[in-house]
Structure formats: structure tokens, C-alpha cells
Amino acid sequence: MDIGDMLERMRDPLGAPFYPPALQVLLVVTWVFHIFFVTLALGSSAYAILGFLRPNEYRLRLARVAARLTPNAVGLGIVTGIAPLLFVQTIYDPIWYASNTLTGFWSVSFIFVVMGGYSLAYLFYLKGSADGKLLWSAIASFVLPFFAGWVMHVLASVSIRPERWMEWYAPNGVIDTRGVEFHSWNIPRLVFLLPLQAGLSLAVVLTLFAWYFRRIEEDAPFMNWVANQGRWLGLAVSPLYAVAGLLWAATEGVEFGIGVPVGIALATVGLALTGYFFFLKQPMQQAPRTLLVWIVSLLTVGVVREAIRAVSLARFGYSVSNYPYIMDWGSILLFGVTTVVDVAVVTYLALVLYQSGGTQRDTQVSPRVERFGSIATGMLGAWFAFFILVGLYTTFMLK
Ligand code: HEM
């Protein structure tokens, strides 16, 4: 059996529940949200540490905000990680499960690492950030999620190199089931995806934070300072991002024969961001646009990651477009309705946040938003009730 046969036979015999290329698109899109929040968590926790280590009035104030942001961002990063996990398991199951097995010790430890990082970020926010105590917990809440990102990176890298799995499974013919070795990591890819994107996600959110509170007049000097910090950080990191992108292209890109397009795409993103931050004269006022620019950049990176995976697997005839599928209307309905209900609830929360908008006045949310909120939460309640009924029905009525 050759590698192509092996990959084909490892696919779910029932096939995917929906048209696979659509799931591939969702994989890339949901990964963008995931990487945005996890890198924001790393960026904000790094800022909190530095702010407490080298304090002045503004830095200390911002460090406390960052300490508060970190657990929220880690939480959102974990939640938004589940979506790409769902899709990667559906259309890339052979490679994802193989890499999780070959790195078994760490893929299990990963859960505890993430739990530890999340809990310690909370500990620092609740008990340490008021007066800069428990700084070790802030440092640990940076190191642990960073390590989780490293494990993610190794899983992704191992998964796209099936030709080496046997060598890793049985080095010199002796089976090694420990799963403790980190294989095939790529430092430029990691530096690009984690620390540099952490800097950029933080830069963008700093401008957004200042924009959100722009109407509080007495805070204007602080908010201007925060927005400018965001701009300078973006300007400092973007050129490094372009360089790391080129190095990623020169290593992994060249390995899979697509060094030139990968290099052009990633360097363009880095240089475009450099230009954007350079010409960004009003970082506070233009923060929503900056967020949009960053999301488009992350989407480009998501597509590049996907292209590398597709090209690597095409060597063995594996392609998402020929993954078998059967339309599973039950799953599609559950997925579709859950998405509609959740998007409605999240939109309602975002509208409330927006309308209560960064002032200390006792602002009222408009009746239209209130009505929308009642409908959204009503739908959520109805959906919960439906799930419970389905559970009861399958438990007691289906044998
Ligand atoms: C909290 C710390 C985390 C960090 C810093 C992190 C970071 C990353 C990074 C850097 C990648 C890309 C790796 C690469 O392409 O080389 C990635 C991919 C991924 N992450 Fe996370 N992650 C974290 C937690 C999670 C969690 C808790 C989940 C699941 C619930 C998750 C699900 C995924 C999935 C499924 C992918 C791969 C998607 C694909 O291959 O297209 N991550 N993550």
C-alpha cells in the first residue's frame, strides 16, 4: 500500500456530512477568529507583564486593562478553536488523527496546559493586577498559552508530512508510542504565526480600545496615547512580519515547491501593513478600518496555510474536493439553526456594547435593539428546549 492509499483508507467511511470544499472554507474562516483571539491573549499578557515591570502612570493603567483582557481573549481563543477543530477533523481526519497520535503525550497535555494558562490569567487579573502582585502568574499565563501554540504548530506540521510518519512512529525500526517528540517544527512559521501576530493583534486592539472610549473627554490624553502605542507597535512589527513571511516561504514554501507564491503573498501582507500603519495618521478614529485590514491580512495567512497543506497532500493524491460526502440533513439543520441562533445572540451583545458605547453616562439601549435581543434570547431558549427534548427522546424512545 502506498501513502496515497493509506490516506484514502483512513478517511471516515461514512464520508463528510456536507459538500467538503464548503467545510474547507469554513475551516479557514473560523481559524482566522481563533488565531486573532489567541494571539491577542499572548499580546495582552506580554503587555501586562512589561507594564508592571517598567511602570509609569499610563503604562500601569494600560497594563491593568491588558491583565483584564487576557483571560477574556484566552477564553474566546479556546471557544473559537473548537470550530476549526470540527472542520479539520471532518475533512482532514487521516492527517489530523495521525499527527495527534504521533504527538500523543503533548496533544493530551495540551488540555491541561490551556486550562493552566486560562486559570492563571484569571488569578493575575483578580488578585494581582490591582497592585502588581503575583507577577509569576502573569508570566505563566503567557508561557503556557505560548506552549499550547507550539503544540498546535507541531500538530499542523506533522500532519502535512505523511511520508515521514513511519520514521517517527518506529525510529530505526523500534516502535516509539510515547508521543513525546516534537517533529518537523518550522521556526519562521511559528515566529510569524505567534509572537509577531501577537504584536499585531495587540496593536489593532489598542487602537480599538481607544476608539471605543473616545467620547470620555477627561480620558482623551490617555486614549490618544493608547491609540498611538497601537500604531507604533503595528509599525514596528509589520516589517518583521514581512521578513518572517519570506523566511517561512524560503523554508516550508520551498520544501513543497510553492516558495515563490507563498513569499509574494506573505511579504505583500507584511509590507502592506507597514504602509498602512505608516500612513495611519488618526489611529483612534480609524480603528474599525484597522481591524478590518487586520482581519483581511489574517484571512490571507489562513489561505496560505491551507494552500501549503493542499499542495503537500496533493503529492499523494489526497484532495478535499474528492473527499466522499453524503448530505446529512439532520446535522446540516442542527448546524445551520445553531449558527443562526448564536450569530443573533452575539450580534445582540455587540449592539448593546456598541450602543452603551464607552461613556460613563447611564446610556439606554434603543428599543429596536432591545426587541432584537428578546427575539435572539427567545430563540436560544427554544433551541435549548429542543435539544433537551431530542436528548430525552433518544434516551427513552429509541432502543
Ligand atoms: C490557548 C492557546 C492556543 C494557542 C496559542 C493556539 C495557537 C494556534 C496556532 C499558532 C495555530 C497554527 C499552527 C500552525 O499552522 O503552525 C493553531 C491552529 C489550530 N488551533 Fe489553536 N491555539 C490555542 C488553543 C487552541 C484550542 C483550545 C483549540 C481547540 C479547542 C485549538 C484549535 C486549533 C486548530 C483545530 C488548529 C488547526 C487548524 C488547521 O489546521 O487548519 N487551538 N492554533
Query: Atom 19, ligand 1: which residue's CA is nearest?
Result: 152
* Ligand 1 and 43: CB distance under 6 A: no
Is residue 91 within 8 A of residue 23, CB to CB? The reply is: yes
Low-confidence stretches of the chain (pLDDT < 50) are: none
* C-alpha span between 43 and 202 (Å, rounded): 5
Residue 61 belongs to some domain of the structure = yes
Q: What is the pLDDT of residue 399?
A: 72
Query: What range defines the domain where residue 221 resides?
Result: 3-327
* Ligand 1 and 309: CB distance under 6 A: no
* Ligand 1 and 16: CB distance under 6 A: no
Q: Do 7 and 43 fall within a single domain?
A: yes
Q: Do 294 and 231 fall within a single domain?
A: yes
Going from the Cα of 81 to the center of ligand 1, the distance in angstroms, rounded, reads 6
In the block, which residue shows the cell 475551516?
27
* C-alpha span between 38 and 195 (Å, rounded): 11
Q: What is the pLDDT of residue 365?
A: 82
Q: Do 127 and 229 fall within a single domain?
A: yes
Residue 180 belongs to some domain of the structure = yes
Q: Do 397 and 259 fall within a single domain?
A: no
Query: Atom 16, ligand 1: which residue's CA is nearest?
Result: 153
Residue 332 belongs to some domain of the structure = no
Q: Do 234 and 363 fall within a single domain?
A: no
Among 277, 303, 327, where does a domain finish?
A: 327
Among 271, 301, 327, where does a domain finish?
A: 327
Please tell me the pTM assigned to this model.
0.95
pLDDT digits 0-9 by tens, 144-179: 999 999 999 999 999 999 999 999 999 999 999 999
Beta bridge partners of 325: 16
Q: What is the pLDDT of residue 364?
A: 77
Q: What is the pLDDT of residue 249?
A: 98
Q: Do 321 and 366 fall within a single domain?
A: no
Q: Do 239 and 321 fall within a single domain?
A: yes
Q: Do 191 and 248 fall within a single domain?
A: yes
Q: Which of 18, 37, 33 is nearest to 84 (CA)?
A: 33
pLDDT digits 0-9 by tens, 6-31: 999 999 999 999 999 999 999 999 99
Q: Do 313 and 372 fall within a single domain?
A: no
* C-alpha span between 340 and 343 (Å, rounded): 5
Q: Do 14 and 75 fall within a single domain?
A: yes
Is residue 228 within 8 A of residue 373, CB to CB? The reply is: no
Number of domains in the chain: 2
DSSP state of 184: S
* C-alpha span between 37 and 145 (Å, rounded): 12
Atom of ligand 1 nearest to the CA of 302: 41
Among 297, 327, 357, where does a domain finish?
A: 327
In the block, which residue shows the cell 516550508?
252
* Ligand 1 and 266: CB distance under 6 A: no
Is residue 303 within 8 A of residue 28, CB to CB? The reply is: yes
Going from the Cα of 389 to the center of ligand 1, the distance in angstroms, rounded, reads 34
